[in-house]
């Protein structure tokens, strides 16, 4: 049986005050909650609750264990939310460089959309056709048309750019 599910069930039983209320909240039968509690108590080798036909009462060990379990469940929930999508907010300053014409037409219109999604990030967009050293000039991101000259950098092909020379 899942140890984590046993802990969650114990906390739910203790906070709801009965196996039936905890089972209803979990969407399972009361017998399942009872088996989870029995398995947890057997694994720990201690009684966490005194059970009668009328009520459940936490033992001294059960009270101490409940506090630890609640703290543990909160820590797990916080850890999960910090790494899940949307859990970690981007912040700081982003410096982007792009060729002048391409940047005005394709990159600049995307900056306000990015800022709406990431309000804590400030953006500097440098539109220049001159060749620069991205790392030395302190840029976080460079949009370039053509092949990558520095193989130590990470590149992602955004699109093919077909050019025609016409007269």
Q: Could you tell me what percent of the chain has a pLDDT over 70?
A: 95
Nearest to 72 by CA among 7, 156, 116: 7
E strands of the chain, at which residues?
Answer: 49-51, 56-58, 92-98, 121-127, 141-142
Global model pTM greater than 0.85:
no
Compute the mean pLDDT over every residue in the chain, rounded to the nearest whole number. Answer: 87
| Tokens representing residue 30 in the block | 């009361």
Topology classification of domain 92-142 = D-Maltodextrin-Binding Protein; domain 2 (3.40.190)
Q: Are strands 121-127 and 92-98 parallel, antiparallel or unpaired?
A: parallel
> How does pLDDT run across 25-57, given as a tens digit for each residue?
999 999 999 999 999 999 999 999 998 888 889
Residue extents of the structural domains in the chain:
3-83, 92-142
| pLDDT classification of 86: cutoffs 50, 70, 90 | low
The 8-class DSSP code of residue 107 comes to I
What is the CATH number assigned to the segment(s) 3-83?
Answer: 1.10.10.10
């Amino acid at each position: 049986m899942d140890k984590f599910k046993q802990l969650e069930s114990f906390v739910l039983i203790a906070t709801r005050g009965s196996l039936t209320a905890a089972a209803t909240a979990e969407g399972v039968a009361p017998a399942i909650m009872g088996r989870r509690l029995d398995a947890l108590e057997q694994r720990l080798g201690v009684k966490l609750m005194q059970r009668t036909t009328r009520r459940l009462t936490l033992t001294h060990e059960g009270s101490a264990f409940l506090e630890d379990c609640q703290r543990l469940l909160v820590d797990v929930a916080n850890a999960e939310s910090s790494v899940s999508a949307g859990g970690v907010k981007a912040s700081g300053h982003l410096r982007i460089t792009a060729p002048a014409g391409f940047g005005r037409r394709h990159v600049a219109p995307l900056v306000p959309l990015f800022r709406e999604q990431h309000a804590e990030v400030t953006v500097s967009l440098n539109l220049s056709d001159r060749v620069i050293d991205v790392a030395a000039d302190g840029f976080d991101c460079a949009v370039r048309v053509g092949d990558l000259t520095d193989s130590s950098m990470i590149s992602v092909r955004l699109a093919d750019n077909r050019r025609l020379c016409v007269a």
